[in-house]
């Protein structure tokens, strides 16, 4: 190749190079933490790093643990344990029988309150006291006694059924109700008797009179 041909070739190559487009400048921020890394690429530490990839990390110090305290076990008292136990079968049988007897007893007590004057007179005849003089307020007292006796039985019945549904021992409730019914009857009769002049005269006649020495 002659000198002229070489110069012409250089001029043509330089012209084409000058006409080639300049690639645009990448204005994105400098990549950090592998933001623009291709998919599947992972960073590997340089070979001169002090730690190697296969170094086993030192175990972390075990935290001081406090031995678990055993939970306190609730100690049941005999009364509490018996309260939570379901009632035995015999309790239901006895309770139902007492409720039936209590129904007849409540009816008899109410009838006794209605015939309170007659019953007192019968007692007077047996003891030889005399004739009973009924006070004016006796009918009102009789009605109050009837209502009280029937209300007592209704309360006993409700409490007993409620306790039986909870499977708790309930036979003592009718027994308590029967004892209270007897006390009510005795109190009502005592109020009427101690207000009767015939009975008070009989009591005074039974008390010996002191005799004076001559």
Mean of the per-residue pLDDT values of the chain:
75
- Grade residue 82 by pLDDT with cuts at 50, 70 and 90: very low
Q: What is the pLDDT of residues 7-41, one digit of tens each?
A: 555 555 554 444 455 566 666 666 555 555 566 66
Residue 199 · residue 129 · CB < 8 Å: yes
pTM: 0.55
Does position 56 have pLDDT exceeding 70, yes or no? no
Long-range contacts of 128-134 (CB under 8 A, 24+ apart): 129/198, 129/199, 129/202, 130/198, 130/201, 130/202, 131/198, 132/196, 132/198, 132/199, 133/196, 133/197, 133/198, 134/192
134 burial via Cβ count (<10 Å: 0-12, 13-18, 19+)? middle
**What is the per-residue pLDDT for 11?**
55
- Grade residue 168 by pLDDT with cuts at 50, 70 and 90: very high
- Look up residue 22 and give its DSSP letter: P
């Amino acid at each position: 190749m002659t000198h002229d041909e070489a110069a012409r070739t250089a001029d043509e190559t330089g012209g084409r190079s000058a006409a080639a487009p300049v690639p645009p400048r990448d204005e994105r921020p400098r990549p950090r933490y592998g933001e623009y890394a291709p998919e599947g690429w992972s960073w590997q530490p340089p070979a001169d790093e002090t730690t190697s990839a296969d170094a086993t990390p030192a175990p972390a110090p075990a935290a001081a643990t406090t031995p678990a305290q055993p939970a306190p076990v609730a100690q049941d008292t005999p009364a509490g344990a018996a309260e939570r136990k379901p009632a035995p079968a015999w309790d239901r049988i006895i309770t139902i029988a007492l409720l039936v007897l209590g129904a007849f007893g409540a009816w008899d007590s109410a009838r006794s309150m209605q015939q309170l004057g007659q019953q007192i007179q019968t007692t007077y005849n047996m003891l030889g006291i005399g004739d009973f003089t009924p006070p004016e307020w006796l009918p009102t007292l009789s009605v109050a006694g009837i209502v009280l006796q029937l209300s007592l039985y209704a309360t006993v019945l409700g409490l007993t059924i409620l306790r039986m549904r909870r499977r708790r021992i309930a036979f003592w409730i009718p027994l308590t109700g029967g004892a209270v019914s007897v006390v009510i009857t005795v109190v009502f009769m005592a109020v009427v008797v101690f207000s009767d002049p015939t009975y008070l005269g009989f009591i005074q006649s039974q008390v010996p009179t002191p005799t004076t020495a001559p």
